[in-house]
Amino acid sequence: QRIFALETTLAKGHWDVVKTRDAMATYNPTSFDELPNRVRDILAGSQLPSQNLINMMPSYTDHLNDLLTPDRLADWQLWATWHILRSRAGYLAEETAQANFDFYGTQLSGATLQKDRWKRAVAVAESLVGEEIGKIFVEKHFPAPSKQEMLTLVDYLVAAYRDRISNLVWMTPATRERALEKLEKFNAKIGYPEKWRSYENVEFSSEGKDLVENIRRGSIFLHDYELSKVGKPADRDEWVTTPQTVNAFYNPVVNDITFPAAILRAPFFDPEADAAENFGAIGAVIGHEIGHGFDDQGSQYDGEGNLNSWWTDEDREEFNKLTTRLIDQFEGLVPAVLKKNEIETTGVNGAFTVGENIGDLGGLGIAVVAYKKYLADQGLNFATSPKKTFEAEGSEPELADQEFNGLQRLFLSWARVWRTAIRPQMAVQYLAIDPHSPAEFRCNTIAGNVEEFYEAFQVPEDAPIFIKPEERVTIW
């Protein structure tokens, strides 16, 4: 109860999830000596290698300083002890590990069974020596030609963005020029890093009898590695993830997009698949990540990754008008799994998810433009694109033998990547902590805003996915 009470008091000093998205508000350069006195005293033991700091939440730092008082010492000791035990609970005796899972796995997330022991073991290895695991994954699962095919797709998506930005009616010419400059400076990291991280200085126990100690040693190595970068120029070739991670990333401070090898597999990417399917899946993801460079956060960084207000006030105002309409579309949407289980919720937070929704909207819309450019290079268009069947496990039997043109298969491929099964408990959690909208809305609400979706399919006005023409949002 004392630990929970302290955590609750701490939380009162935090900003809400929407304010923490404000890049300008969270960029507060300061020095070590300017920190509140008690916070500074605690950090003094960390031997930070630089006096220069960024205080991302000054009001919270002040709030924390007010709580670091002698009369709370016993509570802080309990708090620190609990955090240490909690972080290692899953690796201790089975009884402790099970108690940890019963709360975090079952009570909070709705899971009934722990992952197999070997999967948990792999997760530990990944967390400590991720790129060593990555080498094995790439060797076994990432064919060399896939990298070049991905670079070709990236080129098509960048070209599509170039066309759309050049013809934006809501952006002033000066800002369009700056946006195009930023676009040309994008760097794409595909599959795996060119230079692998070395773990030779990690002194793991060779006997394999002390798991917790090995985790401690690995954690110290990773901590020291991060500290070693402080005060040095950013390494633009460094990867922020491992090749075996199923995800994609945009990093605004270096203006690059990263696509690990693990996401470059079906259903997102298949070198043997039809171009329409790849454009609708990984193509939309590429467009999504590039789009983050121009969303509510990324648009505050220039092509070099500097926090720099390069938009005019007029452009920002027009952009905000469009994003406000998108916020309103998503605000309060309730996932089907919560409706089915009659779980009360306020639904999607449109302001919290707006950055990812901008990414999805731009990603799918630009993927359509990129596919159109690809077809033109083949002497084709949407109407003359080849008709083929579309395979998706679990889809309606009556669709199995039906043929679809390229534009239709692009949208079907987009839908296929969003097939999701989720427990109600996790759905509730994600609404509170995940800046992405639930999968069903990422799929349908986004598609409903794309004009070509209505060209591909005869969508009746009473269909749930239908959005009135005057209410559809196009940003990029």
Asked if 26 contacts 57 with a C-beta cutoff of 8 angstroms, the reply is yes
In the numeric block, which tokens belong to residue 272? 């043997």
Q: Is 196 helix (H, G, I), strand (E, B) or coil?
A: coil
Would you call 295 a catalytic residue per the annotation?
no
Chain position carrying tokens 């534009």 = 407
Chain position carrying tokens 């296929």 = 416
In the numeric block, which tokens belong to residue 72? 């709370």
d(CA 205, CA 289): 40
What does the angle CA 30 – CA 34 – CA 39 come to, to the nearest 5 degrees?
105
Would you call 360 a catalytic residue per the annotation?
yes
Asked if 150 contacts 269 with a C-beta cutoff of 8 angstroms, the reply is yes
d(CA 175, CA 185): 16
**Catalytic residue of the set 256, 289, 302, 356:** 289
**Of 323, 312, 199, 183, nearest in space to 257 by CA:** 183
Q: State phi, psi for 290 to the nearest 5 degrees.
A: -60, -40
**Mutual orientation of helices 173-184 and 144-166 as an angle, nearest 10°?**
170
Phi-psi region of 110 (alpha: psi -120 to 50; beta: other; left: phi over 0): left
**Catalytic residue of the set 295, 315, 360, 452:** 360
Phi-psi region of 347 (alpha: psi -120 to 50; beta: other; left: phi over 0): left
Asked if 279 contacts 408 with a C-beta cutoff of 8 angstroms, the reply is no
Chain position carrying tokens 């709580």 = 67
Catalytic residues: 289, 360
